[in-house]
Chains A and B, each alone.
Chain A
Amino acid sequence: MQITVEFSGGLETAFDGNKKHVLDVPEGSSVNWLLHHMVETLMPDHKREEGKNIFLQDESVRPGVLVLINDSDWELEGEDQYILQPRDVIIFASTLHGG
């Protein structure tokens, strides 16, 4: 099934620089699975260690990075345990960049 991942707040620089990705993921995948899948497939090899540090902490999203699942705060959707549905749009927004 297809889902869309978007970055904002400059987080795309931790990946390959693109702000939007359409991904094919197995049905029943959780957001936690997606996080690791993104690190493996969307980060260039030479940037993976650094990028992972910007994106993740303790195997989940680093505090200061907001996650929206279909525009809804992931804190209301079960956070990384949320099970992805077809056509979901997941937005990762860093709050850490300057104001």
Chain B
Amino acid sequence: MLCVLCECRKAMLKRPKTLQPICKPCFYNVFETEIHNTIVESNLFFPGERVAIGASGGKDSTVLAHVMKTLNERYNYGVDFVLLSIDEGIHGYRDDSLETVKRNKVQYDMDLEVVSYSELYGWSMDQIVAQIGNKNNCTYCGVFRRQALDRGSAKLGIAHIVTGHNADDMAETVLMNLLRGDTARLDRCTELVTGSDDSPVKRSKPLKYAYEKEIVLYAHYKKLDYFSTECTYSPEAFRGTARTLIKNLEAIRPSTIIDIIHSGEAFVLKKKKEKKGKGSVVVKAKVEEKPVPSGGCSVPLAFDSSLGLSNRCTKCGYLSHNAVCKACVLLEGLNAGRAKMQIEGDSADGAAKNIKTLEKLALSI
């Protein structure tokens, strides 16, 4: 079968997005060009900008680093890319994948900064799991990673991180927010660029329209050096189930993934009317988006920012809406050996319950 684009070479894959049979060179071209278009249409970068690539050594961030380097050279973005990795301290998983990132540093000729949980928080994920058990550890990992990425960027003097979230991840997040009734996050989770007032760093997802199938094939055909092992700690059941559902739907109707993203993008949350109370105005509670790591490891925590102003954590100085930031709340619990947060990510009232638990915890400290 011939490639439908060049009509001269043998087709090697069927594009899930369009069902077109295409050859390898045409595949590289359309895959890279689509990402370039995403970047250009949104003015994602400016010349001279320093941008950190959140690099885990996995397929998504390795493809991201490769494509960013390729496009930067091809289209003269003038961006200075740096690899930024987080060492969560998970033996047999992150130590091995960090070796991959170190090779990527050489392969892509980029600087590499590694920030570790042990160094930042005094706790590795292995130690945290040893203390709290095998449940809820994705919550700790998610909260800590977000802040670790910010701190790593601050150290490098960088205000923009690109992450390897792909179309399948986006669809999964839309579906999870829909299924949880988390309309505030549903409103925002498909945005290409997310900045929030509890983080000094802008985050963006240049691969948001790239199918996982194409990312894996790109990495395979280009023989990219990446690491593929699941995190040794059990993933959330809810996310896993959403992921399986999406993969099953994709098998029947491949456009499902892009269609779910489209639905998420078209969803706009109706603004709540401001209630006029006795001298006080209740502003719509804003819910911040948590970055969802590609490994599928984070219970998003809703965050009440009705204060409307950015404050700093009294313990660590990190931007926070509460007196104590989320990472410090979790750390206090760990340090006191009483981390008993019951976070039921699987239950319908998960998000609401999370806020309450965190707020209570913040008050009790």
Give chain A's interface residues, CB within 8 Å of chain B: 8-10, 13, 62-64, 66, 68, 71-73, 75-76, 91, 93-99
What residues of chain B lie closer than 8 Å to A71, measured between beta carbons? 12, 221
What residues of chain B lie closer than 8 Å to A94, measured between beta carbons? 228
A66 to B217, Cβ gap below 8 A? yes
Q: Give how many B residues have a beta carbon under 8 Å from the other chain's beta carbons.
A: 39
| A73-B13, A97-B229, A99-B295 known; A63-B248 Cβ under 8 A | yes
Which residue in B1, B21, B166, B247 is a CB contact (below 8 Å) of A99?
B166
- Give Cα A63–Cα B297 distance, bound, in whole angstroms: 21
Which residue in A63, A76, A97 is a CB contact (below 8 Å) of B1?
A76
* Further pairs besides A75-B14, A95-B216, A98-B56: 5, Cβ < 8 Å: A75-B13, A97-B59, A99-B56, A99-B61, A99-B295
- Give Cα A63–Cα B10 distance, bound, in whole angstroms: 25
- Give Cα A72–Cα B221 distance, bound, in whole angstroms: 10
A-B contact count (CB 8 A): 80
B58 to A98, Cβ gap below 8 A? yes
What residues of chain A lie closer than 8 Å to B10, measured between beta carbons? 72
Confirm or deny: B213 has a beta carbon within 8 angstroms of a beta carbon on chain A. yes
| A76-B14, A98-B58, A98-B231 known; A93-B295 Cβ under 8 A | no
Can you identify 19 A-B contacts, CB atoms within 8 angstroms? Answer: A8-B228, A10-B229, A63-B247, A63-B251, A68-B220, A71-B221, A72-B13, A73-B14, A75-B13, A95-B212, A96-B230, A97-B58, A97-B230, A98-B293, A98-B295, A98-B297, A99-B56, A99-B164, A99-B295
A93 to B230, Cβ gap below 8 A? no
A84 to chain B, nearest CB (A): 19
Which residue in A64, A66, A72 is a CB contact (below 8 Å) of B12?
A72
What residues of chain B lie closer than 8 Å to A75, measured between beta carbons? 13-14
Confirm or deny: B158 has a beta carbon within 8 angstroms of a beta carbon on chain A. no
Q: Which of B127-168 contact A (CB under 8 A)?
A: 164-166, 168
| A76-B21, A95-B212 known; A64-B247 Cβ under 8 A | yes
A66 to B248, Cβ gap below 8 A? no
Confirm or deny: B60 has a beta carbon within 8 angstroms of a beta carbon on chain A. yes
Confirm or deny: B250 has a beta carbon within 8 angstroms of a beta carbon on chain A. yes
Residue of A nearest to B64 (CB): A99
- Give Cα A64–Cα B215 distance, bound, in whole angstroms: 12
A10 to B217, Cβ gap below 8 A? no
- Give Cα A99–Cα B59 distance, bound, in whole angstroms: 5
0/1 string, B1-43, CB within 8 A of A gives 1: 1000000001111100000010000000000000000000000
0/1 string, B193-229, CB within 8 A of A gives 1: 0000000000000000000110111001100000011
B295 to A95, Cβ gap below 8 A? no
